[in-house]
Amino acid sequence: MNTLNKRYIWTFFLVLLLIMVVAYLFNTYATKSAPKYYSSDSDAAIKCITVKDTEGNIIFQTGEPVHVEDEYINEKNQHYIVTKISGSEGVAEIKTQLPPQDIDNALNTISSINMYPNYSIPVAAPLEDTHVVIYHTHTDESYVPTSGQTSEPGNGDILDIGKVLQTALQKEGVRVTHSDNLHDPHDINAYIRSRRTAVQLIKKQPDAVFDLHRDSAPVQAYQTSINGVDSAKIMVVIGRSNPNMQTNLEYAKRIKAAADEVHPGLMRGIFIGKGDYNQDLYPTSILFECGTAKLSEDDAVIAVHSLTDAIIRVLQQ
């Protein structure tokens, strides 16, 4: 075989290899997993589920994925279960209505703490001996009125909200570890990446673990006023796929009960969704949705300061 033919053969295989590489890269990036809330900064791309009762009244709206058998405890402690999901709409029926005194008398100790033999959570420790850890699974989440976009990879407004909560708790004497580890991109694997962060944080055996987010529900779902000051609302999210979910839920109820007492209207409810949100790692692990994308960061700051008052009450119990 002469040199010219060899050159043609090598050229052919090199071109073929280049085509294969380009095709692989295109397929990888073109089929990237869809984010949890949105795929771009356009309003049309922000996905929101509206769940109504059987009479057509809105029960709740959220950018969280919603599935049949998910549950929601609203501001008045009415407990609903989702019975139907069709596209961006769902239907829920009343499950139970918890008397206010049952919420107020939520467990002062976590009865199933022995499910986590490696951890010891002091219930009556003074605040100077109390430790809270904060992290963010979706570190890109931002507020449109503040930064002009819903997503800022590597520098989301939600990181500032974590710092606000850290500072507010520290002023009350609580020791706080705030992780700003990035878990971008905002895709289906974000919780896998943030799980590594959570595992490292719980080695410190904290009293509570908080994962801070912001929702993408309509403004009216989160807009409120606290002591005459415009504020965002807070929603708690609990994962029902966690086998020890009830422990996390009882802790969430205690925080909601405290908030309802000191700042009525702050807590919009508790969403109990499919998945575990890494809450299987720790009995006092809570996910907070701090406002929504179309409210400002300032609204979320007011909300988090108010939330701090409720958290302090629970930590002092």
pLDDT (mean) for 217-223: 96
Q: What is the pLDDT of residues 84-129, one digit of tens each?
A: 999 999 999 999 765 555 544 544 433 333 344 344 444 445 687 8
User: Which residue spans within 87-148 are E strands per DSSP?
Assistant: 89-97, 131-135
Amino acid at site 312: I
In whole angstroms, give the CA distance from residue 306 to residue 300.
10
Does the pLDDT at position 156 exceed 70? yes
Long-range contacts of 177-182 (CB under 8 A, 24+ apart): 177/131, 177/132, 177/133, 177/134, 177/201, 177/204, 177/206, 178/133, 178/134, 178/135, 179/133, 179/134, 179/135, 179/136, 180/136, 180/139, 181/135, 181/139, 182/139, 182/153, 182/154
> Poorest-confidence range of 122-131, 206-215, 216-225, 269-278?
122-131
DSSP SS3 for 185: coil
Does the pLDDT at position 187 exceed 60? yes
Q: What is the pLDDT of residues 35-72, one digit of tens each?
A: 333 333 333 344 799 999 999 999 999 999 999 999 99
pLDDT for position 120: 40
Q: What is the pLDDT of residues 267-315, one digit of tens each?
A: 999 999 999 999 999 999 999 999 999 999 999 999 999 999 999 999 9
Let me know: does 258 contact 314? Beta carbons within 8 Å.
yes
Residues 6+ apart with CB under 8 A from 4: none
Residues 6+ apart with CB under 8 A from 216: 37, 38, 46, 47, 48, 62, 63, 150, 292, 293
- Ramachandran area for residue 308 (φ above 0: left; ψ -120 to 50: alpha; else beta): alpha
Radius of gyration of the chain (CA): 23
pLDDT for position 125: 52
pLDDT for position 129: 87
DSSP state of 127: G
Nearest CA to 218 out of 253, 160, 268, 282 is that of 268
In whole angstroms, give the CA distance from residue 295 to residue 216.
10
